[in-house]
Structure 1
Amino acid sequence: MAKAKLTHVDAKGRPAMVDVSAKPATAREAVAECRVRFPAAVAQALRKGGMKTAKGAVMDTAIIAGTMAVKRTHELVPFCHPLPIDGCRFDLGWAGDTVLRIECAVRTTHRTGVEMEALTGATVAALTVYDMCKALSHAIVIGPAKLLAKRGGKREVGKARA
């Protein structure tokens, strides 16, 4: 197995954006998730109230914020290339009595992948949930955030989506 090396560092060890100009444009997809853990009483109140707070519909607002974040990832993460986003989908649901699971899937046809966009979308959606619910408790915990799958490019990770 070849030794892994950092891609955003030049020969002198300085930060550098990866040059993707020689790569072919291919279909790429990445799926990431982030979880939000609530104290039991808060989760119960949110479920009972239809995931609405004084600030509005929690899940709908999280999806909008996550989508906006996907489209602006290159403005937040220094070496991300600006990408045309072909598709962005969110799936939010309870993964237990107190844990909300946020999944973000992003697609593009380009020379580089969309892992950072999917991770950014999922985590910003989770931050939005926290913001909308923090009046109920500051004991809400965000994370972990993780890449579930990616396809296209050199390597596939996780289970490819249909």
Structure 2
Amino acid sequence: MANENEPRLTHLAADGSAAMVDVGDKDDTVRIAEAEGFVRMKPETLELILQGNMKKGDVIGAARIAGIMAAKQTANLIPLCHPLALTRVSVEIEADEALPGLRVRTLAKLTGKTGVEMEALTAASVTCLTIYDMAKAVDRGMEIGGIRVLAKSGGKSGDWTMTSEGVR
């Protein structure tokens, strides 16, 4: 019998099959998660995006809306995620000439029984994918990377923040 204080995969039933976690008895708390990602590209591609000269239109505006929409659809995309009534989703996209490319930072928030890390990650991923889709005609060598949770607050497991040394 496993010690209940030992780390374990929560989406596995006793027999090892996949199972949705029962969150019915958990308390409602304010839960926030932040995530990030990036799209590395040629400097010329970044310049075209920033000037608004892409044939498909406003890359940053479309990617921001795609990320928000994706966060709201997470339960339809990730099999064992609970459908959540998000109260806030934000997507920030900033140019980084040192990359060169665009850095994405997302936030998902709700008051509820389960965390919103997957929603923040989904928002970051789809934002990056949309940037790639809208710019691939001029730069097929773009790289998507760095998708990760930066911070999480609320719930029984407590708060944490990613630092250069690891989780704090």
The number of aligned residues is 156
2:146 maps to what in 1?
Answer: 144
Deviation at 1:138, TM superposition (A): 0.6
2:127 maps to what in 1?
Answer: 125
Q: Any idea what SS the aligned residue of 2:35 has? A: strand
Deviation at 1:152, TM superposition (A): 0.2
Matches within 5 A, 1:1-162: 2-47=5-50, 49-50=51-52, 52-97=53-98, 98-153=100-155, 154-158=157-161
Report percent identity of matched pairs.
Answer: 41
> 2: distance between equivalents of 1:4 and 1:91?
33
Q: Can you list the C-alpha shifts for 1:24-81, whole angstroms capped at 9, x where unaligned?
A: 011000000110000233223333x24x411110010001101110000000000100
> 2: distance between equivalents of 1:123 and 1:113?
18
TM-score, with structure 2 as normaliser: 0.88
Q: Can you list the C-alpha shifts for 1:132-157, whole angstroms capped at 9, x where unaligned?
A: 00001110000110100010012212
> 2: distance between equivalents of 1:129 and 1:64?
11
> 2: distance between equivalents of 1:87 and 1:45?
30
Checking the alignment, whether the CA contact within 8 Å between 2:43 and 2:101 is kept in structure 1 is no
Gaps of 5+ in 1: none
Checking the alignment, whether the CA contact within 8 Å between 2:48 and 2:54 is kept in structure 1 is no
Q: Any idea what SS the aligned residue of 2:37 has? A: strand
> 1: distance between equivalents of 2:114 and 2:141?
38
Paired residue type of 2:85? P
Gaps of 5+ in 2: 163-168
Q: Can you list the C-alpha shifts for 1:101-139, whole angstroms capped at 9, x where unaligned?
A: 111101000100000000000110100000000001110
Deviation at 1:92, TM superposition (A): 0.8
Q: Any idea what SS the aligned residue of 1:123 has? A: helix
- RMSD value, Cα: 1.3
Q: Any idea what SS the aligned residue of 2:161 has? A: coil
Paired residue type of 1:69? A
